[in-house]
Structures are given as C-alpha cells and as structure tokens.
Amino acid sequence: MNSTRDNIMIIRYPPRYPKSVHLYITNECNLDCEKCYYRKSSDPKKELSLEQIRMLLEEWKRYKLTSIAIGGGEPLLHPDINEIIQLAKDMGFFIAVTTNGTVLRPIKPNRVHISYDELHPTWKDEKLIQKAIDYYHNLGCVVGINHIVTNLENIEYIEQSLHNFTNLLLIRQKPESLFTQWDEIPYRKSYWIEGCREGSICEQGILSFHLNYDMQSSICSNLQKKIPYTNLNETWEKLKVFKCRIRDSNKIKKK
C-alpha cells in the first residue's frame, strides 16, 4: 500500500490494480494502411457506445486508474468522441488520443499523438501533418508524434520537416521489426522509446492493460491473445499471467 514516513512517499510496486488503460473505442478508420497490425478494411464496423464507456470509466475510477490512452481504428471517427473525452476528464482521468492526423475534430484531451511513418499513406505529406499538429496545439493540447521506426534517416527527417510538437515516440514495428539500430538513436529528451523493443523494460500487464471495441482485453494492444472483459478485478487476475515473448525475454536477460 502507499504510505508516507519521514516525508518520504513509499509506493507499492507493482500496484494491486493497473494505473492506465489503452482503450480502443472503434475499429473504423478512413485509411487503409497495407501493413496495419490492428485491423483489416474488411472487418465489420464495431465501436463502444457512450454508455458502455461511461460504465467502464465509473468502474475504473473506483479502482484508482489515473490515465486512459484512446485509440482505434481512428478514434476521431467515433460519433461521441467529444463527449467521451470530456466525461473522462471530468472524472479526473488524464486523457491521450492517438490519431492518424487526417481527421480534425475540436477535441481537448491532455495529449494528442499523431501517427506519422512509412507505414501510413500520409508519409512525406508534411503540410497535412503540420496542419494537424498546429490545429491540436491551438486547442491547448500537448502534441506528440508516434513513429514506427524503420530506419534512422526517417527520425532525422521528422525533426527537420515538422515543428511545434513536444515529443517523438519511437515504436517497434509489429509483428516483426527488421530495425536493429536502437542504440544508434541519438539521445534527446524529446525522444520516447516504447517498451516493446529489444533490450527495454515493458510494464504492460504490470501498470496497464488493453481493452478494445469488442470488449476483449489483453495486457497490450500488440498481443494477439485476448479474453472477454468482465470486470477489472476478475479480468486483471487473468491478465497478469499472460506471457509476452518480447517482454518476458527481456526480463530474463536483465536478471
């Protein structure tokens, strides 16, 4: 449990319940990315209703979750996206939204992450992405770029061609990545590197979990194995024993 002693905060780790959730609210998308790992264009449309999300938020608040990362599909195509974000913020959650940058909606989460890499058809369309960055920045959002890494040159290209964003999240390609030069990426405070890469520490299934538009849950959106979500207590107990080839092999290496 959390406690204080001599003005020092002692925090239980790992916590009994997760602190964040990656919530995919819809599988609808206006792009048809050839190498999309999460959906196929032929998939039937599915989305969580506002009422479903309201009940989930109320439950997660009781378990003291603190942040929600909203994704999809393209989450800005959800008809209730503004209401979802406002409801979650009113309940005290920190909200981040990941978008492909082609849909502009007057949303006001805490953060907006715009996907921009060779796997998206928007690649090298700097005007389109810069317009999205400026749009959400002017709405008061902190804006970052999500970039699936395929080579070092593309990282530098983004730095030179775009501005007004605060961080660049470097992501490992799924299901398999051919990029092996992680240690050659220059150190910059604005560079974030996701846990799902060789030699890093991942806390999916420890501090967070994933829930999709089909009410299927996993430790991470990148793990194909999923179970039906019932309630947080019951589902979390089942998720904690999930194994991930990348995450668990890294744990073994670090022992």
Please provide the DSSP assignment of 96-152 as one string. Answer: EEEE-SS-------SEEEEE-STTSTTTT-HHHHHHHHHHHHHTT-EEEEEEE-S-H
**Residue 4 counted as domain residue:** no
**Sign of the CA dihedral running 200, 203, 204, 206:** positive
**Sign of the CA dihedral running 23, 29, 35, 38:** positive
d(CA 206, CA 220): 10
Q: What does residue 247 show for φ and ψ, rounded to 5 degrees?
A: -60, -50
**Residue 127 counted as domain residue:** yes
d(CA 136, CA 104): 8
**Residue 166 counted as domain residue:** yes
**Residue 205 counted as domain residue:** yes
d(CA 200, CA 246): 9
Torsion of CA 133, 139, 140, 143, to 10 degrees: -20
**Residue 1 counted as domain residue:** no
Number of domains in the chain: 1
Q: Give the pLDDT score at 245.
A: 73
**Residue 2 counted as domain residue:** no
Q: Give the pLDDT score at 32.
A: 84
More confident residue, 9 or 58: 58
Domain housing 16: 12-254
Going by DSSP bridges, is the β-strand pair 216-218/208-211 parallel, antiparallel, or unpaired?
antiparallel
Q: Is the pLDDT of residue 253 over 90?
A: no
The model's pLDDT over 179-189, given as tens digits with 9 standing for 90+, comes to 999 999 999 99
**Residue 5 counted as domain residue:** no
Q: What is the average pLDDT value for the chain, to the nearest integer?
A: 90
Cβ atoms within 10 Å of 56's Cβ, excluding its own: 21
- Give the domain CATH number at 128: 3.20.20.70
pLDDT band at 231 (very low <50, low <70, confident <90, very high): very high
d(CA 89, CA 237): 27
How far is residue 214 from each of residues 48, 132, 217, measured CA to CA in Å? Answer: 7, 29, 9
Q: Give the pLDDT score at 99.
A: 98
Residue 120's Cβ-count burial label (10 Å; 0-12, 13-18, 19+) is buried
**Residue 76 counted as domain residue:** yes
Q: Which pair of tokens denotes residue 153?
A: 């040159």
